[in-house]
Chains A and B, each alone.
Chain A
Amino acid sequence: MIQPIVRTDVQPRSRRPARRGRLGALEFVVPIASGVLLFYLVFMLFPIVYTFVGSFFDWRPFQGRFEFHGLEHYRALLGDPEFYRGMRINLTFTAGVVIARTVVGLAIAMAIASLRFGAPFFRTVYFLPVVAPMISISLLWTWIYDPSYGLANQTLGLFGLPALRWLKDPDLALLGIMVMTVWKEVGYAVVIFLAALAGVPRSLYEAATIDGANAWNRFIHVTLPSIRPATAFVVVTSIITYLQTFGQIFIMTKGGPGTSTTTTVYQIYDEAFVLFDFGTASALSMMLFVVISVVTIVNFRFVSGRAP
């Protein structure tokens, strides 16, 4: 998913306190603020609270059931190896894709930044998969990974390598989806890093060179610190996004083979919209929420070096 960066350090230069008057500010503020409040109460706050409450109920909408169940769902989840497995797969997927996207994205950005000409061309090309719809790309890659007719095995064949079962192989399926996700989304990181790299003053590099730093040192001591906010942004938004990955798994493997690609998010979908057991699904999403919050806060602190 594409998310732009926005400056947060801008302060408004003048503020208008709400005042009474014939066509005064109050007649603007009250309806608009109420509208915003109403919308968020109904479509955001209420669902969040209801899901939380529902996680304590045996809630099956099509059987008309909504009976108090206490902590049963949570107890069952915490004692279920499937739950931990799902979390593990979720986290593995996220970690892998985030690291790959950041590292590869930065590498490509630096390569492009060093070019004398052709940079816009490469920037356009690498960003191309980002705008393509995820569902379509997922289906395309399902075909690329097809063991008999797919491009992947054809390519392996070109190099004399044996064909792989890809999405049908429990050891490879998750990796296959990860590779496809990085392929699709690395361009976004490239663009962000390019913009960040462009903002690093040349004087810093020159000073470092004078001090005897080689390319690697310059990278570690000048580049990395200077683009830290961009890195933080890429890492944190990637984590939040990929912890909630669903579309690719739905199209490419539906959680299989076996349960090798069943992430917690997919489990939520399965419980909610295949089995229509909203209680269990709600409990699962609450646990996911907690995990996402913790992971995000920890990473934010770690990568940006300051409190969120």
Chain B
Amino acid sequence: MRTLHVHLSRVVIALVAALLISVGLAQGLVYDTEVVNDGDPIVLEFWTPYYQDVFQSWIDDYQQVHPNVTIELEHQPWGDYWAKLPVALQSGRGPDIFGMHIAWAAQLAPLAAPFPFADEDLEADFTMTESNKDGEATKWFNLAVIHGGVFYDRDAWAEAGYGPEDEPETLEELMAIAHALTVREGGRMTQAGFCFQGVFRDMIIDLNYQNGLWNFDETGTRAVIDSDGVRESLAFMLNDVLGPDGTCDALVADDNWSGMAQGRIAMAYAWNWVGGWLNENSEVDWGWFPMPAPEGAPALGRNNVENTFSVNARSGEAEQAVAFDFIEFVLSSDERVLRYVLQAGGVPTKRSLLDDPSVLANPIVARSIAEGIADRTVYAGAMPVSYEAAYDRLRDAVTLEGTDVDTALAQAQEVADDRLDGSGFVAIERSYAGAGAFR
């Protein structure tokens, strides 16, 4: 009996110790590399189409700590970058580190090297780590979550007699305000009440989620476009918003943000980043509220992640090692990740930044965190850029070419099927926490 007791307590101690050790092990990322590449000089190439200022600041910091490393940052124009990157990576003459965007993640994953960090450590520090993965391997890193919402011009609101307390909570209320804000002079719309210019696809996807409808089938490989849900949404978009008595018209602006900047659009559905853009490129005093959803809506819409960078799988071992060290250097630092998050204007995925005052200084982010808005949005997965063409086709067919809705939907469905087939994309929308309430 005594032996058993002793053995049991040993077992208990061992278990407790193991528990403590495992908790201690999953302590998140800690950067403590003193010397990299044995102190030998090494040069890395880093290509990016955006966020170049943030990346450069990271590089400067890193090069101070490790003077033997030189990272050359090259900024490429957006379109050019995505055309050149696959070739460059494949040819072995490409950059060692390259800026990534989620829409190209599926396409570029075969050319990216897996990050050598333990899943537990990453999960300890960051949310949404599953969105960084290609299969089981983490190959890029998302630092901010963005989603849609409605921007409104405070001055235009005030003129029409509205104030912040009049924030609409339903679609009907939104449209009522929108009608009041729509101004027509001599047959031409000089101020649009509510528009979705330039974000046609996102509007449809968000409305689907609000109505508890999935945007992909159960297998996650086929997009759902030709459906009654989309028909309903289109009816709203084409009749209520773009119709002859609507709150917007195609000529008022090419996209929401420039329309708002020019004072031609009073309310616009757009994604978070527009806030920063408006601050930089206009004098508009803007306010924001989440897109009104029907009562009991299981989700507010979709979210997307702002992606940082990946490492070239074909780079030399030494270069890859330094690249991963650089990434660890960045990810483990709150202050560095913060720079990116502020530029992206999104909700940080790094847990320790969720209560950071400069993050909360962005009204959209503060509200999103406070009201848990981001948590009520669905992450659909790394939707490949190629299938956006289906929604472009739909938009052009119904808005430019006057095709009837049924034909347009059928055509768009075909394009989507064609583009997604063979792309290897699998939607993960159904792993959304509130999936149970969906139809």
Question: Is B418's CB within 8 Å of the partner chain A?
Answer: yes
**How far does the alpha carbon of A76 sit from the alpha carbon of B417 in the complex, in Å?**
11
Complex contact B111–A273 (CB within 8 A): no
Q: Does B280 contact A (CB under 8 A)?
A: no
Q: How far is the CA of A65 from the CA of B110 in the complex (A)?
A: 11
Beta-carbon contact of A168 and B396 below 8 Å = no
Residues of B within 8 Å of A274, CB to CB, are 82-83
Q: Collect the chain A residues with CB atoms within 8 Å of residue B411's CB.
A: 81
> B422 contacts which of A60, A64, A257, A273 (Cβ < 8 Å)?
A60
The verdict on A3 contacting chain B, using a C-beta distance below 8 Å, is: no
Cross-chain contact A62 with B422 (CB below 8 angstroms): no
**Within residues 75 to 91 of chain B, which ones have a CB less than 8 A from any CB in chain A?**
82-83, 86, 89-90
* Partner among A63, A81, A275 whose Cβ is within 8 Å of the Cβ of B424: A63
Chain A residues near B185: list those with CB within 8 A: none
Complex contact A63–B386 (CB within 8 A): no
Docked pose: A82 CA to B393 CA in angstroms: 10
Contact B90 A62 (CB under 8 A): yes
B86 and A258 within 8 A (CB): no
A259 neighbours in B (Cβ, 8 Å): 393, 396
Of A65, A80, A258, chain B has the most CB atoms within 10 Å of the CB of: A258
Cα A277 to Cα B378 in complex, Å, equals 30
B119 contacts chain A at the CB level, 8 A cutoff: no
**Residue A47 is within 8 A (CB to CB) of chain B in the complex:** no
* B190: Cβ under 8 A from any A Cβ: no
Tell me, yes or no, whether B400 is within 8 Å of chain A by CB: yes
Set of chain A residues within 8 Å of B393, measured between Cβ atoms: 82, 259
> A58 at interface (Cβ–Cβ under 8 A)?
yes
CB distance from A224 to the nearest CB of B (A): 41
- Whether A62 pairs with B418 at a CB distance below 8 angstroms is no
Closest to B411 in A: A81
Which residue from B83, B400, B422 sits with its C-beta under 8 Å from A170? B400
A62-B90, A274-B83 as given contacts; A257 in contact with B110, CB under 8 Å: no
- List B residues 224-249 near A (Cβ within 8 Å): none
Contact residues in B for A63 (Cβ distance below 8 Å)? 107, 110, 424
Cβ–Cβ < 8 Å partners of A65 in chain B: 422
B418 / chain A contacts, CB cutoff of 8 Å: 76, 80
- The residue of chain B having its C-beta at the shortest distance from the C-beta of A258 within the complex is B396
Q: Give per-residue flags for B46-82: 1 if the beta carbon is below 8 A from chain A beta carbons, else 0.
A: 0000000000000000000000000000000000001
Contact A275 B386, beta carbon cutoff 8 Å: yes
Instruction: Find residues 238-287 in chain A having any chain B CB closer than 8 Å to their own CB.
Output: 257-260, 273-277
User: Count of A residues near B, CB < 8 Å?
Assistant: 22
Q: What residues of B have a CB within 8 angstroms of the CB of A76 in the complex? A: 418
Cβ-based interface call for B159 (8 A): no
State how many angstroms separate the Cβ of A145 from the closest Cβ of chain B. Answer: 15
B415 touches A82 (CB 8 A): yes
Structural contact, A257 and B400, CB atoms closer than 8 A: yes
**Contact A170:B401 (CB < 8 A) given known A76-B418, A81-B411, A259-B396:** yes
Is B295 close to A, CB under 8 A?
no
Among B110, B396, B401, B419, which residue has its beta carbon within 8 angstroms of that of A62?
B110
Judge if B414 is at the interface, Cβ distance under 8 Å: yes
Interface positions of B from 375 to 432, Cβ below 8 Å from A:
386, 392-393, 396, 400-401, 411, 414-415, 418-419, 422, 424
- The smallest C-beta distance from B414 to any residue of chain A, in angstroms, reads 7
Contact of A61 among B90, B400, B422 (CB under 8 A): B90
Q: Are A276 and B107 in contact (CB under 8 A)?
A: yes
CB nearest neighbor in A for B106 = A63
The chain B residue with its CB closest to the CB of A171 is: B400
Kindly report which residue of chain B lies nearest to residue A271, judged by CB atoms. Answer: B386
Task: Name the contact of A258 in the complex, choosing from B89, B400, B419, B422 (C-beta under 8 A).
Answer: B400
Min CB–CB distance B426 → chain A (angstroms): 15
Minimal beta-carbon separation of B423 from chain A (angstroms): 9
Question: Which chain B residue shows the least CB distance to A168?
Answer: B254
Asked whether A273 lies within 8 Å of B90 as measured between CB atoms, the reply is no
A275 (CB) vs chain B CBs: closest residue: B386
Q: Which of chain A's residues have a CB closer than 8 A to the CB of B83? A: 273-274
Question: Which A residues lie within 8 Å of B89 (CB)?
Answer: 62
Asked if A62 contacts B415 (CB within 8 A), the reply is no
Chain A residues near B111 (CB-CB < 8 A): 62
Q: Report A272-305 CB contacts with B as 1/0, cut-off 8 Å.
A: 0111110000000000000000000000000000
Residues in A21-72 with C-beta less than 8 Å from chain B = 58, 60-65
- Chain A min CB distance to B345 (Å): 28
Q: Chain B residues with Cβ under 8 A from A64's Cβ?
A: 110
B-side contacts of A82, CB under 8 Å: 393, 415
In the bound assembly, the distance between CA atoms of A58 and B90 in angstroms comes to 19
Of chain B, the residue at the smallest CB distance from A274 is B83
A293 to B252, CA, bound (A): 45
Question: B422 contacts A276, CB within 8 Å?
Answer: no
CA distance in complex: A81, B408 (Å)? 11
Chain B neighbourhood of A80, CB < 8 A: 414, 418
Q: How far is the CA of A259 from the CA of B86 in the complex (A)?
A: 26
A274–B83 Cα distance when bound, in Å, is 6
Q: Which residue of B lies closest to A169 (CB)?
A: B400
Q: Which residues of B contact A62 (CB under 8 A)?
A: 86, 89-90, 107-108, 110-111
Closest Cβ–Cβ distance, residue B312 to chain A (whole Å): 13
Kindly provide the distance from the CB of B92 to the nearest chain A CB, expressed in whole angstroms: 13
Docked complex Cα distance between A58 and B422 (Å): 9
> Please, which residues of chain A bring their CB within 8 A of the CB of B401?
170, 258
Highest count of chain B CB atoms <10 Å: which of A63, A65, A260: A63
Shortest Cβ distance from residue A189 to the other chain B in the assembled complex, whole angstroms = 34
What is the minimal beta-carbon distance from B49 to any residue of chain A, in angstroms? 15
CB distance from A81 to the nearest CB of B (A): 7
Q: Which residue of A lies closest to B110 (CB)?
A: A63
**Bound CA span A65–B424, Å:** 12
29 inter-chain pairs at a CB distance below 8 angstroms, sorted by A residue, are A58-B422, A62-B86, A62-B89, A62-B90, A62-B108, A62-B110, A62-B111, A63-B107, A63-B110, A63-B424, A64-B110, A65-B422, A76-B418, A80-B414, A80-B418, A168-B254, A170-B401, A257-B396, A258-B392, A258-B396, A258-B400, A259-B393, A259-B396, A260-B400, A274-B82, A275-B386, A275-B419, A276-B107, A277-B422
Q: Known pairs A258-B396, A274-B83. 18 more at Cβ < 8 A?
A: A62-B107, A62-B108, A62-B110, A63-B424, A80-B418, A81-B411, A168-B254, A170-B396, A170-B400, A170-B401, A257-B396, A257-B400, A258-B400, A259-B396, A260-B400, A273-B83, A276-B86, A277-B422
Give chain B's interface residues, CB within 8 Å of chain A: 82-83, 86, 89-90, 107-108, 110-111, 254, 386, 392-393, 396, 400-401, 411, 414-415, 418-419, 422, 424
